[in-house]
Structure 1
């Protein structure tokens, strides 16, 4: 069955926002005299539970910490780190190649639209996408709802659509919705298990989109 559409995760896939978020949490924990266990981060990466999980863990390690006061500070630090961030290497090439092949494009992200859409605009890639499905409107990954919503918005089936993900939770979501899934881990997630993905690439520059379309 020919490929008619591509669906991309946002955080960590289109742009390496996860490095900035992880660094912010590591700094926050260290500011309170404790270390963030990476296994706790990996347990929630790619889901909608990162912020509450991190604050719960910090409260467990530092009883009485004022998490409400920390919320605007952590958010501001993330945006400070993201100011100069661009798309991951090779992403724009994939989007341009998809446009040349007449493929439909969507984003499926567990993050909110208030987070995803401004970043897509800032990165200069919002215009490529026919649909943006986010976690404030659909159940987050690893459930399949976001990918099912993307298929519905694009008018394609799972068998005609390739997903691009950077976390095992995301791969689980895409596969549960019936999509072929290409994992493109980043520096934060490259050590995780991507055995459920159909293809694993070290980067978007490792293989041209055309090679995936003819696979």
Structure 2
């Protein structure tokens, strides 16, 4: 069956926001005289549990922390790091090719709409997408709900839709919804296990979308 739609994760897939978020948390942990174990980060990356998990872990080393006081500080740091960030290399080519071929496009992200939508606008890619599904309205990954909602919004079947993800949790979500899933890890997630993805690409520039679809 021919492909009719593409659904992209946002953080780490369309733009490498995860590097900035990780750096921000590492700085917070170091300010409290401890290190953030990367294993703990990898355990929650791509889900909706990152922030509470980080605060819970930090509290083990610094019981006197005030998460509500730290929350705006960590957010401000991330936004500063993201000021000059653009889409991942090759993303614009994929989006342009998809639109040229008449494919429907959606974003399925565990992050909130308040996070995703402004970034899509800042990156100048919001106009490509027919639907944006976010974790404040749907169950976060690895639950399949976001991808099922994307299929419903686009009016396509799983068998004719391809998902693009950068984390194993995201791949699990897409596969549970029945989609073919292409993993495109970034510098933070490239060492993780993507054996359950249908295709693994080192970057969006490694294979043009035309070639991927013909495969």
Equivalence for 1:25: 25
Distance, in Å, in 1 between the alignment partners of 2:191 and 2:139 is 26
* Deviation per residue, 1:88-117 (Å, 9 max, x gap): 000000000000110000000000000000
Paired residues for 1:136-155 under 5 Å: 136-155=136-155
TM-score (norm 2): 0.99
SS of residue paired to 2:169: helix
**3-state SS in 2 of match to 1:47:** coil
Cα separation, 1, equivalents of 2:117 and 2:180: 25
Residue of structure 1 in register with 2:87 after alignment: 87
Q: Is 1:119 the counterpart of 2:119 in the alignment?
A: yes
Match of 1:213 in 2: 213
SS of the aligned residue for 2:207 comes to coil
Alpha-carbon distance between aligned partners in 2 of 1:140 and 1:157, rounded to the nearest angstrom:
20
Offset of 1:58 from its aligned partner? Answer: 0.3
Q: Does 2:188 match 1:188?
A: yes
Could you say which residue in structure 2 is the equivalent of 1:165?
Answer: 165
Q: RMSD of the TM alignment (CA)?
A: 0.4
Moved beyond 2 Å, runs of 4+: none
- Deviation for aligned residue 1:7: 0.1
Q: Secondary structure at the match of 1:74?
A: helix
**In 2, Cα distance between the equivalents of 1:142 and 1:66?**
29
- Partner Cα separation in structure 1 for residue 178 and residue 68 of structure 2: 40
Q: Which runs of 5+ in 2 are unaligned?
A: none
TM-score, length-normalised on structure 1?
0.99
Residue 35 of structure 1 is matched in structure 2 by 35
Partner of 2:78: 78
